A = this chain, B = another copy of it.
Amino acid sequence: MPNKKENAQANLENLYRIFTIPEAPDSTLGRIDQAITDNAAGFLQEHVVALKRELEEIEGDFADSHIPEQPTFVSEYSKFVTDKLVAQSVHTASPGFVGHMTSAMPYFMLPLTRIMTALNQNLVKVETSKAFTPLERQVLAMLNRLIYNHDDDFYTRWIHDSQSALGAFCSGGTVANMTALWAARNKLCAPCSDFNGIAQEGYLNAMRHLDCTGLAVMVSRRGHYSLGKVVDLLGIGRDNLIKVDTDDNNRIDMRHLRNQCSRVQADGKRILALVGIAGTTETGNVDPLDEMADLSQELGCHFHVDAAWGGPTLFSDTHRWRLRGIERSDSVTIDGHKQLYAPMGVGMVLFKDPAALSAIEHHAAYILRHGSKDLGSHTLEGSRPGKAMLVHAGLSIIGRQGYELLIDQGIARAQNFADMIEAHEDFELITEPELNILTYRYNPAWLQKVIASADGDKVNEINALLNQIIRMIQKYQREAGKTFVSRTTLEHARYKGTSVTVFRVVLANPLTTEDILVSVLKEQCELAKDESLQELFDQLRCMVQAA
């Protein structure tokens, strides 16, 4: 019988194996990995099946809160990965999964991700990232140029300058928006002769110094929910995130914006920033950025553009004009994991002024020393992986023209789908696609006729019932797992005073064909016939007959 010491030695040797002996290609884990690598689409199609399995049931597989005491063999764990995780995940890359901002991914991202993981660089400092630091700065310069198009001298001067930054990488659009407004807040409340700055003295002293009763951030009602988190974190408060009405095309209403700015100022508040949106999350619309730039200039405030979704539209010679004015902004958010087709977890914020990020600069004795080129001195996050590599790969391999094609095709596909919806008698287009996002709802022909001539109260009652039906159709479609659209709730000019529940479709996956879009509508018509919905339809018919 081995004694305790021998046992410990044996355990230690087993443990070292996982650090020293690669997973063999014919191991269970190696086989799953290879199968996904060889044919992700096929593998996922086969394995990610919609079992109509409720989340509550799946939770049963993840119910133990004890950390396993003994080690598990990798092969055994691999079985868990296949059966319980891969099989129960969502096939976000499926061409029929058009409900969220997901897409098929370029295959080269897979081996590159593994190379990146094996290198395991930490971009917080040069000592743990070396070439990845200039690489990241290069990618930021490229995106900065895409937006601001400064001249060559500008980029030669600033691209690798240790005292400044053309932008910052981060984990996603939320942190990007946060970084932009953090820098803007600290610049507005910068140190001067009798004030050490908000970074040092805090919010209370800053307001005293500015002699105002608060800061305000202006954005349209279609602004992303991350902005609520940002103003909460920054001490501005959600009450001071002023949600401005939109026009009938979900673009910020400039007259309302001006009125709101005046009102806020009359309250003794200081306007920190206007936030323009280039591609609203729900409807894909673009605010009148040029007019917003005028206004922010007039007000002397920061102008941030949340182009997390729509930024890559700038690649397109045909559609770039839609974002006109973005080049006059102070900062821009772009997500790498959206229309740059990188994997989840890549965000960026770009600044017009290479000195802008010095408002949030920080140092430490053991890293990020003054004068170093450590990227960590200008980022909200600390330790970060080398994801800039994946964006660099996309820009290089796909190229400007490749991205242009992807953008143009997406917008054309959305227009095409909008036409299909309008041509179909049982559907109603709610928001026209400006980029590649649209919303619509099921609204059978007979009901559309009734609505056209009904009075306001009646329309509201009908919409309330129809909203329930839409919610159920969306749920059934998601559960069936063949295709997927998301849903949201919008106010619409056609239906003042009530909000309508709509299907939301995002067409960024280049593999989504017209046939698939036809089948989405066909399936929805079928689902509308589901027995469980007939009571609601009966109520609708009664209501109509009573009218």
Contact = CB atoms under 8 A, between A and B. Distances in A.
A401 B84 CA distance: 24
Contacts of A115: 32-33, 36, 81, 86
A38 B55 contact: no
Which of A69, A92, A204, A385 has most chain B Cβ within 10 Å? Answer: A204
Nearest to A39: B22
B141 A120 contact: no
A363 B225 CA distance: 7
A337 B385 CA distance: 10
B237 A205 contact: yes
Interface stretch (A127-135, A287-295, A424-432): A127-135
A366 to B, nearest CB: 4
Interface string A46-77: 00000000011011011111111111111001
Contacts of A142: 65-67
Interface string A124-167: 00111111111101100110111000001001100110000000
A232 interface: yes
Interface stretch (A459-467, A485-493, A528-536): A485-493
A301 interface: no
Given A131-B62, A174-B380, A344 B122 contact: yes
Contact of A344 (B145, B173, B213, B384): B384
Given A55-B373, A366-B504, A62 B135 contact: yes
Given A22-B39, A89-B121, A203 B203 contact: yes
A225 B368 contact: yes
Contacts of A175: 171, 175, 380-381
A37 interface: yes
A170 B345 CA distance: 10
Interface string A15-37: 11011111100000110110011
A419 interface: no
Given A142-B66, A405-B15, A511-B20, A131 B85 contact: yes
A542 B406 CA distance: 71
A84 B30 CA distance: 28
A265 interface: no
Which of A11, A20, A488 has most chain B Cβ within 10 Å? Answer: A20
B113 A127 contact: no
A38 B26 CA distance: 12
B344 A134 contact: no
Interface string A101-120: 01011111111111101111
A284 interface: no
Contact of A365 (B146, B199, B489): B489
A483 to B, nearest CB: 13
Interface stretch (A245-253, A392-400, A443-451): A392-400
A458 interface: no
A100 interface: yes
A233 interface: yes
A55 B22 contact: no
A300 interface: no
A243 interface: no
Given A22-B37, A129-B89, A399-B67, A344 B15 contact: no
B401 A70 contact: yes
A198 interface: yes
B199 A238 contact: yes
Given A65-B155, A186-B232, A44 B118 contact: yes
Which of A89, A108, A170, A200 has most chain B Cβ within 10 Å? Answer: A89
A360 interface: yes
A409 B89 CA distance: 37
Interface in A328-354: 335, 337, 343-345
A497 interface: no
Contact of A383 (B120, B132, B173, B237): B173
Which of A55, A73, A366 has most chain B Cβ within 10 Å? Answer: A366
A478 to B, nearest CB: 7
Contacts of A36: 114-115, 118
A369 to B, nearest CB: 10
Contacts of A68: 395-396, 399-400
Contacts of A207: 204
A80 B108 CA distance: 14
A93 interface: yes
B37 A23 contact: yes
Given A37-B118, A56-B160, A198-B232, 15 more contacts: A18-B108, A20-B104, A22-B107, A22-B110, A33-B111, A70-B399, A74-B108, A81-B115, A85-B135, A89-B119, A100-B127, A202-B240, A204-B213, A226-B382, A282-B365
5 contacts: A32-B115, A43-B118, A127-B478, A127-B486, A199-B238
Ranked nearest first, the 6 interchain pairs of A and B with the lowest CB-CB distance are A202-B237, A235-B235, A203-B235, A88-B131, A366-B488, A33-B111
